[in-house]
């Protein structure tokens, strides 16, 4: 069998060809059909040309070198012997010991044959091959994309066919080897050596789960046009059920794209009964679209954009059945449609939000925001250069089939006077703020009831920005104080309706308070940030507990790769931390790691869960070892004393292949007959990628 370095093969052809052309002592014969033969010795008898010694033959399609050649320029028959190298165009190269080829029909045989596709680095070695204009038919062959000597992976097969036009290789009775160890036998296998976007089979997902049995998903990819494609993903879980999902992706303009994903999974009846699932079928739909220019393509001077993310599902288990890695992270599914248009100082937006609470059997009483209209006039001077005003208006429609609905209008109009003192060391801002809202209710016992609220408050703020350079570092500071005083405040009508134990329409009621703010940064002489610190304390005059939470945020950059962060909120009311988050992050060219601890007390004013929660997240990845990627993740809920998820794995990367071995343990929510429960899935995943398959 012929073996040689692939790059060497191509180099030898080109160098040898140039060398032969430069030797004037060679004999040359130019038969018909644009075929030229050069060699050390060339003889001709009738229509038959015999060339011996450093033979070079070139035609419009082939460049061939050999030790000896017979060529009949009338019939086009060519027979080559010894060290045959063939370059077909710029795509394919081959080596052989003996070849017969008709240059008129491009049909022939080679034995043995080494064939190389330069675009994909795929090579084939076989004992004999049948040559056709569009195909190579091989017998007793080996294919790989690794080194020709001792390849890391190879596929041995009894027969096969490579189509040079479609670039598909079809092989029969293949045996997959890792080095010389056989791993898998199949009666038939096919793959494309073309790495460009095209129709075909994508790598499958294969796994084994304790309660779900053997898992197999085979993606099928269709690419009929440059601006759209379709991916079908049928799957089977032998102990659970079968399903299919599909994704349609499209690009409809230079500045917009979208995708539509849908799917259906049918549970086996015994599995659904054992797991107490509320549904034995799960289905869903997602429509995503992003367009950065709509009207702005037709009208100058404006900027606009459209963003769509629509989601529908019948229960939370739809997410858990999309593929092996998918899982549901929240029981609330949100759909959004946002459009905005901006021109000069004016902004207009229309937004819509729809919620599906998967913990409910019906969402008839779930409050939806359909739609919200938004107008904003950006801050702009009037009358004086340092007198600014802005306007913000929103109209919100809260709707649902069962329960109270509401339509709210709200306006905010701040007017600010800005000036500086003491040679720009002190900056002062006076602001007069007006807030108005009106709400009309529906579906209540007093249909047509409403509420009105008006609020006026004053704000004065003063701050200074200071900086100073030292011998080995640079320091900047921002010191500020903001004093807010409510003025006129009036509320009329109905405001007593609630939703999920909160006010149906929460009011933005300002309190008299003074807030102190301080920020500082330290830089080294190279301009790299070394330390940042921000602290804020508010004092409320009319509260029983005068002091709001003390907010403290620090980041210490030990190096340009490693920093430690800490965010603390301290409650003066309860004499304890209401929020504490500590993070350590490291990143360089080979290693990345992050660990974060978060604690939020139920007393924290932005905690809507009304309960304590704390968790630890950890992730690490290293490429310290050559061609090896080690990684691990942890998500631990301290309050519930449960690992939400954790995984550890290794990925081995080589030129022609890679493999990943991952152990994963995930707790996912599931929809049961008694409500939302959780299920634990754990298992080992072994994934191979053989390039260019």
Residues 6+ apart with CB under 8 A from 78: 57, 64, 69, 70, 71, 72, 99, 100, 101, 102, 103, 108
Instruction: Tell me, yes or no, whether 263 lies in a domain.
Output: no
Residue 103 domain flag: yes
pLDDT at position 20, please?
43
439 located within any domain: no
Q: Domain count of the chain?
A: 1
Do the domain assignments include residue 66?
yes
Give the model's pLDDT for residue 9: 47
* pLDDT at residue 445 in the model: 64
Non-local (6+) Cβ contacts of 300 within 8 A are: none
In a domain, 604, yes or no: no
Residue 380: closest CA among 372, 389, 371: 389
pLDDT, tens digit, 9 for 90 and up, residues 390-406? 999 999 999 999 989 99
Spatial CB neighbours of 318, under 8 Å, sequence gap ≥ 6: 263, 265, 282, 283, 284
* pLDDT in the model for residue 121: 86
CATH code at position 151: 2.60.450.10
- pLDDT of the residue at 155: 93
CA gap 521, 465 in Å, rounded: 11
Nearest Cα to Cα of residue 248 among 217, 221, 266: 221
Domain assignment present for 95: yes
pLDDT, mean over the chain: 87
Would you state the pLDDT for residue 328? 58
Which 3 state secondary structure label does DSSP give 89? coil
Confidence at residue 346, expressed as pLDDT on a 0 to 100 scale: 95
Cα(100)–Cα(132) distance, rounded to whole angstroms? 12
User: Which pLDDT score, from 0 to 100, does residue 95 have?
Assistant: 94
Residue 332 lies in a domain: no
Question: Where would I find the beta strands (DSSP E) of 328-473?
Answer: 332-343, 346-357, 368-382, 384-399, 405-421, 426-442, 450-469
Locate all alpha helices (DSSP H) within 344-446, ordered by sequence.
none
Range of the domain at 147: 6-196
Name the DSSP class of 271. Answer: H
Torsion of CA 436, 442, 445, 447, to 10 degrees: 80
- Nearest to residue 616, comparing CAs of 593, 590, 604, 634? 634
Question: pLDDT at position 22, please?
Answer: 42
Q: Say what the pLDDT of residue 29 is.
A: 45
| pLDDT at residue 686, as a whole number | 72
Residue 8 sits at φ, ψ, to 5 deg, of -60, -40
What is the CB neighbour count within 10 angstroms for residue 611?
Answer: 9
The residues of the chain scoring below 50 in pLDDT are 1-32, 674
The pLDDT score that the predictor gives to residue 515 is 96
Q: How far apart are CA 352 and CA 310, in angstroms?
A: 10
Residue 101: its pLDDT value, please? 94
Is 167 inside a domain boundary? yes
């Amino acid at each position: 069998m012929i073996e040689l370095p692939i790059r060497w093969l191509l180099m030898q052809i080109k160098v040898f060809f140039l060398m032969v052309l430069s030797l004037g002592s060679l004999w040359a014969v130019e038969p018909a059909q644009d075929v030229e033969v050069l060699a050390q010795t060339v003889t001709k008898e009738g229509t038959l040309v015999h060339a011996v010694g450093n033979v070079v033959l070139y035609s419009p399609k082939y460049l061939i070198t050999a030790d000896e050649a017979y060529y009949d320029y009338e019939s086009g028959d060519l027979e080559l012997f010894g060290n045959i190298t063939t370059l077909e165009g710029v795509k394919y190269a081959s080596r052989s010991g003996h070849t017969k080829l008709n240059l008129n029909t491009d049909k022939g045989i080679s034995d043995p044959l080494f064939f190389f596709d330069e675009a994909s680095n795929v090579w084939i070695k076989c004992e004999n091959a049948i040559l056709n204009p569009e195909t190579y038919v091989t017998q007793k062959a080996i294919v790989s994309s690794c080194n020709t000597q001792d390849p890391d992976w190879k596929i041995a097969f009894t027969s096969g066919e490579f189509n040079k036009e479609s670039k598909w290789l079809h092989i029969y009775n293949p045996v997959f080897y890792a080095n010389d160890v056989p791993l898998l036998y199949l009666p038939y296998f096919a793959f494309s050596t073309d790495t460009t976007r095209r129709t075909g089979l994508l790598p499958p997902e294969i796994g084994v789960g304790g309660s779900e049995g053997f898992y197999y998903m085979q993606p099928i990819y269709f690419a009929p046009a440059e601006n759209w494609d379709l991916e079908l993903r049928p799957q089977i879980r032998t102990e659970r059920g079968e399903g299919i999902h599909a994704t349609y992706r499209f690009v409809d303009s230079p500045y917009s794209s979208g995708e539509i994903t849908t799917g259906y999974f049918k549970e086996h009846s015994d599995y659904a009964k054992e797991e107490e699932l509320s549904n034995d079928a799960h289905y869903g739909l997602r429509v995503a679209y992003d367009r950065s220019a709509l009207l702005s393509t037709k009208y100058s001077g404006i900027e606009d954009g459209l963003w769509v993310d629509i989601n529908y599902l019948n229960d939370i288990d739809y997410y858990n059945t999309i593929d092996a890695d998918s899982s549901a992270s929240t029981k609330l599914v949100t759909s959004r449609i946002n459009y905005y248009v901006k021109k000069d100082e004016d902004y207009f937006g229309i937004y819509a939000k729809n919620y599906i609470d998967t913990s409910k059997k019906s969402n008839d009483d779930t409050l939806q925001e359909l739609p919200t209209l938004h107008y904003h006039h950006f801050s702009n001077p009037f009358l004086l250069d340092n007198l600014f005003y802005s306007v913000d208006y929103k109209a919100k429609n809260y709707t649902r089939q069962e329960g109270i609905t509401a339509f709210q209008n709200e306006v905010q109009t701040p007017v600010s006077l800005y000036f500086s003192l003491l040679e720009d060391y002190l900056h002062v801002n006076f602001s007069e703020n007006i807030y108005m809202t009106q709400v009309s209710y529906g579906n209540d016992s007093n249909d047509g009831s409403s509420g009105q609220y008006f609020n006026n408050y004053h704000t004065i703020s003063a701050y200074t920005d200071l900086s100073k350079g030292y011998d080995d570092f640079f320091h900047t500071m921002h010191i500020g104080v903001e004093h807010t005083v409510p003025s006129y405040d009036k509320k009329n009508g109905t405001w007593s309706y609630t939703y999920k134990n909160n006010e149906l329409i929460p009011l933005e009621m300002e309190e008299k308070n003074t807030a102190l703010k301080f920020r500082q940064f330290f830089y080294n002489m190279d301009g790299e940030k070394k330390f940042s610190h921000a602290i804020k304390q508010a004092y409320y005059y009319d509260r029983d507990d005068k002091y709001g939470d003390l907010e403290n945020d620090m980041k210490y950059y030990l190096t340009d790769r490693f920093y430690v962060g800490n965010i603390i909120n301290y409650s003066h009311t309860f004499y304890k931390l209401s929020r504490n988050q500590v993070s350590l992050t490291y990143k360089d060219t080979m290693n990345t790691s992050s660990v974060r601890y978060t604690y939020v007390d139920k007393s924290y004013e932005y905690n809507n869960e009304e309960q304590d929660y704390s968790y630890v997240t950890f992730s690490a990845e290293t490429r310290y070892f050559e061609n090896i990627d080690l990684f691990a993740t942890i998500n631990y809920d301290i309050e519930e004393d449960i690992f939400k998820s954790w995984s550890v794995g290794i990925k081995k990367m080589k030129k022609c292949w890679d493999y990943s071995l991952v152990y994963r343990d995930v707790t996912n929510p599931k929809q049961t007959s008694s409500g939302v429960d959780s299920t634990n899935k754990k298992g080992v995943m072994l994934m191979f990628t053989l390039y260019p398959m």
